[in-house]
A and B are shown apart, each in its own frame.
Chain A
């Protein structure tokens, strides 16, 4: 099944509390903003009002962290109902979440935990995606995760899993270039092979973010500028994907908005330079 989601060409930022005032009072030069869905899946109050007002100025992407698409015991109906209500109110460009699991039975880890890439997991994930897309009344995007362990039982690569998941369910892909770099370094994967294995026609959005060098592993912390290695991988991704919604994702140690806009300009110039190089 091919994803029927429209493509969107532009550059955006995550909308974070520290920058609410900038987005309400000034004309911030972005083509879209992305918010963490769960922060706005509430009954009322000022944050929801701010999102509605920002939505009047910018397209919005709803990016979730708690759907838990890999849960072996299915999805939570109350979560899907709240997400549907928010999506109906905001009319987002895309609704996305991660290829991971967070919850099993009554326990919710609130972390993006890794999955073994097996036929069994693929069946569970695809069944859950069908449930979610039906409940939301729209196709979703799923993001490749950062991970710190992989499973001996895996019978396919992460990119093969993503490609087959998209083919079976019609979901789109959100390609997090930093996550490819982090996971490739942590597991000894070939990041270029990963990129080549992704079905380009299914990708609708790119995330760029920073990471931290831990004792043994790279940790996906979103508290640093995008690294040189990730910019290089992004250049390769843009050559493969062409015009696409691209954003900087910063969740911690959040700098003033101009710093993030400057980083977004780097993304613009990387793609522009790549296009010039290809034309030459």
Chain B
């Protein structure tokens, strides 16, 4: 009986349709409207809070239509309401199939909220790096690191909106790039990376050895420029907290 009521109540909240079965089960059915209203209002509000700049770009009415589309297609399932907007890009794609700028703007906003509560790490110090054999060292990436390809100027649009500055028109980038987001201490970081850095970071998920990264860059840029770029990227990643650890595997046993 209880399971059936909970299934009927759930279906009624999601579909907002016929409530005959529930009406028969409850006393003073007028109160049901309060639950239907709470359910939808709360979900719209959490989407507004998760995507404030997407809402700015679309406008209130269009954002509400997007939220309604999402709520109708994606009932919440996570234990935390904070996770609810994760798949909003699916509805964006359905309603705005030719707007990669909106996809990338949504990615920026969602990713920043995710990394805000990602695991803590501490920065590498000079002592951690002394005497490392870089040929065999493997790099440990921040657990907050997120990246995706960038094809539009969504980052410039987002930055202008954050700064309450004039917003540029959406346009395609002349050269595809990457978006990289992570947390340094308690500060969230977001920047554009060129295509090579984007690919280099992605490759570390497959093979975290610094030597392998050097080899790949040498193959791409030549011996001297490849090694120099690898060193420059490593210094940048360690300095900004993208790389949070360097592990040295024990040498072969004699």
A interface vs B, CB < 8 Å? 38, 41-49, 66, 70-73, 76, 78-79, 82, 101, 103-111, 113, 115-116, 118, 120-121, 124, 147-153, 186-187, 214, 216-217, 219
Residues of A within 8 A of B25 (CB): 116, 151-153
Interface of B is mostly: helix
- Pair count A-B, CB < 8 A: 123
Residues of B within 8 A of A216 (CB): 30-31
User: Is B9 on the interface with A (CB-CB < 8 A)?
Assistant: yes
Once bound together, how far apart are the Cα atoms of A110 and B118, in whole Å? 23
- Known contacts A48-B117, A121-B2: A109-B76 contact under CB 8 Å: yes
Q: How far is the CB of A98 from chain B (nearest CB, A)?
A: 14
User: Is B80 on the interface with A (CB-CB < 8 A)?
Assistant: yes
Which 4 residue pairs of A and B lie closest in terms of their CB atoms, listed nearest first?
Answer: A148-B31, A42-B117, A44-B120, A104-B6
**Contact at B34–A217, with CB atoms within 8 Å?**
yes
Once bound together, how far apart are the Cα atoms of A78 and B13, in whole Å? 25
**Contact at B117–A113, with CB atoms within 8 Å?**
no
Q: How far is the CB of A10 from chain B (nearest CB, A)?
A: 29
- Known contacts A38-B80, A120-B2: A151-B26 contact under CB 8 Å: yes
Q: How far is the CB of B86 from chain A (nearest CB, A)?
A: 13
**Contact at B26–A46, with CB atoms within 8 Å?**
no
Once bound together, how far apart are the Cα atoms of A150 and B34, in whole Å? 13
Give me 16 other A-B pairs in contact (C-beta within 8 A), A105-B10, A149-B27, A219-B34 excluded. Answer: A43-B119, A44-B118, A45-B117, A45-B183, A66-B81, A72-B6, A78-B79, A104-B9, A107-B14, A113-B9, A148-B35, A149-B31, A149-B32, A150-B27, A216-B30, A217-B31
**Contact at B186–A149, with CB atoms within 8 Å?**
no
**Contact at A104–B26, with CB atoms within 8 Å?**
no
Q: How far is the CB of B225 from chain A (nearest CB, A)?
A: 38
12 A-B interface contacts by CB (under 8 A): A45-B117, A45-B186, A66-B79, A108-B79, A109-B10, A118-B2, A148-B34, A149-B32, A150-B28, A151-B25, A187-B28, A216-B30
Residues of A within 8 A of B119 (CB): 43-44
Of B2, B35, B77, B118, chain A has the most CB atoms within 10 Å of the CB of B2
Once bound together, how far apart are the Cα atoms of A109 and B71, in whole Å? 11
Residues of B within 8 A of A104 (CB): 3, 6-7, 9-10
B interface vs A, CB < 8 Å? 1-3, 5-7, 9-10, 13-14, 24-32, 34-35, 38-39, 42-43, 75-82, 84, 116-120, 143, 183, 186
**Contact at A110–B42, with CB atoms within 8 Å?**
yes
Residues of B within 8 A of A73 (CB): 3
**Contact at A148–B186, with CB atoms within 8 Å?**
no
Residues of B within 8 A of A120 (CB): 1-2
Of B1, B32, B84, chain A has the most CB atoms within 10 Å of the CB of B1
Q: How far is the CB of B158 from chain A (nearest CB, A)?
A: 20
**Contact at B3–A43, with CB atoms within 8 Å?**
no
**Contact at A111–B30, with CB atoms within 8 Å?**
no
Q: Which of A38, A101, A149 contacts B29 (CB 8 A)?
A: A149
Residues of A within 8 A of B30 (CB): 216-217
**Contact at A109–B39, with CB atoms within 8 Å?**
yes
Of A41, A46, A73, A110, chain B has the most CB atoms within 10 Å of the CB of A110
Q: How far is the CB of B82 from chain A (nearest CB, A)?
A: 8
- Known contacts A73-B3, A107-B76, A217-B30: A43-B9 contact under CB 8 Å: no
**Contact at B32–A148, with CB atoms within 8 Å?**
yes
Once bound together, how far apart are the Cα atoms of A38 and B83, in whole Å? 11
Residues of B within 8 A of A108 (CB): 76-79
Once bound together, how far apart are the Cα atoms of A129 and B113, in whole Å? 32
Residues of A within 8 A of B7 (CB): 104-105
Once bound together, how far apart are the Cα atoms of A41 and B143, in whole Å? 17
Once bound together, how far apart are the Cα atoms of A99 and B3, in whole Å? 16
